[in-house]
Amino acid sequence: MQKENNNGIETIQNNSEILFIFEAKMTNPNGDPDDENRPRMDYDRNLNLVSDVRLKRYIRDYIANNIQGDRNKIFVRKIDGASVNAKKSLANILRLKESKKIELNSDQEDNFKNSAIDVRLFGAVVPDVKFANKSNATLTGAVQFNWGYSLNKFNGPIDSNGITSHFQTGKSSDTEESTKSSGAMGKDYRVGYSIIAFHGIISAKRAEQTNLSDSDIDIFDDAMVKAIPSEATTRSKMGQTPLFYLRAEYNSPDYFIGDLRRYIKLVNKENKEIPFEESDKLDWDKYKLDISKLKTKFENAKDNISAIYFWKHEDIELTGWELKEDNIVIQKVELPKEKKSEHQNG
């Protein structure tokens, strides 16, 4: 459902919450440039970490490469592998002459937001640009993620082999991962197997400020499921597969449940919970996702829920909730028929 904001633009009316789970196998889902590009890790809790910046980059790249239209331009983008300066990107979108200081009137600000879908989703910070009636050019996005963390124990990366890199020396990419100079020797750190879970929110109140619409959410749902298979295709990023996506849409701009990951647990094939200390050597066919607590939470919050949208990979097993039929309104995310899975291909 939509409502008009103060500028007469229709934006989403209700909040949503997101649970997204993917696997990372023999890959580096998010390297830490301050730690030799090792996979990010919470050393105190033995968790593999992935930043929200990394996930948003996949979504932006997927939309840029697959979704057409004047409303679906990407503000935070790359050309030939190099990040584009924020002020230059804004000037390109609005077809303005680039200058040291750019001031936008309210119509130009709306045109900027209406042209760049990643601004409507994630917001933007534009140095040396002033928006009408604002002291700075900062827009807080309606869609926000916590950092992702592994549901299973992560003891650290597997032993590294030396590699020769062809990237620039001493720099970090916009996903906060390190690059190396042409011909420089580097380390190839990878995780054995991680089950990474993200929690996110979509704020209807923030959507009023960025002009986020229902049609934008349709594109976002699509990108959440298809971005990683489409964009994680470099040598270090291959081996990542989405497993489960759920978006609970509420019937209010004021309601949130909270981090949905706390209601997920890993169980073995006999539906017995896998102790965290014994979860460091899992693989895709050794566990199920138990979502029974999540079902109970949604049942208790039923009066606040408008709909629940979900998708799951055909190879992942769920227990505790048959999503096909339930007294909560369940709608499947509409996606093209899946190709044969990587697991089935061996």
Q: What is the pLDDT of residues 112-152, one digit of tens each?
A: 999 999 999 999 988 878 887 776 778 999 999 999 999 99
Q: Give the global pTM.
A: 0.86
Name the residue range of residue 307's domain: 11-332
Residue 339 falls inside a structural domain: no
Residue 313 lies in a domain: yes
Residue 241 lies in a domain: yes
- Give the least confident one: 64-73, 182-191, 283-292: 182-191
Mean pLDDT over residues 97-119, rounded?
Answer: 89
106 lies in a domain?
A: yes
Instruction: Band the pLDDT of 335: cuts 50, 70, 90.
Output: very low
pLDDT higher than 60, residue 340: no
The pLDDT tens digits of the residues spanning 23-62 come to 999 999 999 999 999 999 999 999 999 999 999 999 999 9
1 domain-assigned = no
C-alpha span between 31 and 57 (Å, rounded)? 14
The reported pLDDT for the residue numbered 181 is: 44
Q: Is residue 342 part of a domain?
A: no
Q: Is the pLDDT of residue 329 over 80?
A: no
Provide the token pair at 185.
Answer: 């020797």
Average pLDDT over residues 289-302: 93
Judge whether 4 lies within some domain.
Answer: no
- Phi first, then psi: what are they for 239, rounded to 5°? 110, 15
Provide the pLDDT for residue 127. 82
| 340 lies in some domain | no
Total domains present in the chain: 1
pLDDT in tens, 4-13: 655 667 999 9
Q: What's residue 334's pLDDT?
A: 47
Model pLDDT, residue 78: 74
